[in-house]
Amino acid sequence: MPAVSPAQVATLDTATAPGVYTPGDHAASNPMRVVVLSPTTFQDVETKQKYRLYGVDACELGQTARLGKQTWPCGVVAVAWLVNATLNKWVVCLPVRTDVAVIVARCATAEMADVAAEMLKAGIAITLPDDPDRRIPIYGQLEHEARNSYRGIWASAFQMPWLYRKSWPNP
């Protein structure tokens, strides 16, 4: 096939044209206001669509950690951190995949280019152990730095959130 000029690319049916790359359907969300539902999940206040931060986990709302002899509510702290990061701010998310009724996405605000990365830096979040969510190398590095600096949860004894959830009694 002969080379295609830039002017011709604009008129091509990109779905069928050979040799023309088109990105997948991963358009960013419209800017939205959100309400926090959990330490890593929030909901668009207008559309009610739920989003979960890609690649990270955090203490569950009822979960605690122990710093020395003092117990503290690490799940409440994680929710408060996410509320503070998103309250009265426009949030935009780039979907990675959809899990049951929740869009797993990388999200940003005007102050934070990557909300999950900032949670990791602060020691509020933990990288997920599953393979599909370990594809952003900087996430592991940010967690390692927070852990070595004893930031946030890393200053305390705690159970990994996914193990904590497994210990819940079945309803």
Question: Model confidence at 9, in pLDDT bands (50, 70, 90)?
Answer: very low
- Where along the chain do its domains lie? 23-155
- Please name the residue that has the structure tokens 């926090």: 36
135, 151, 78, 62: CA torsion to nearest 10: 110
Percent pLDDT > 90 in the chain is 69
Q: According to the model, what pLDDT value does residue 3 have?
A: 55
Task: Select the CATH number that applies to the domain covering 23-155 from these four: 3.40.50.720, 3.30.450.20, 3.40.50.1820, 2.40.50.90.
Answer: 2.40.50.90
Task: Give the mean pLDDT of 52-73.
Answer: 96
pLDDT digits 0-9 by tens, 106-163: 999 999 999 999 999 999 999 988 766 667 889 999 999 999 999 999 999 999 999 9
Residue 84 pLDDT > 80:
yes
Q: According to the model, what pLDDT value does residue 145 have?
A: 98
Which string of DSSP letters, residue by residue, matches 35-88?
A: EEEETTEEEETTT--EEEETTEE---TT--EEETTEEE-HHHHHHHHHHHHHTT
With residue 126 as reference, give the H or E element that holds it. strand 126-127
Tokens representing 140 are 């592991």
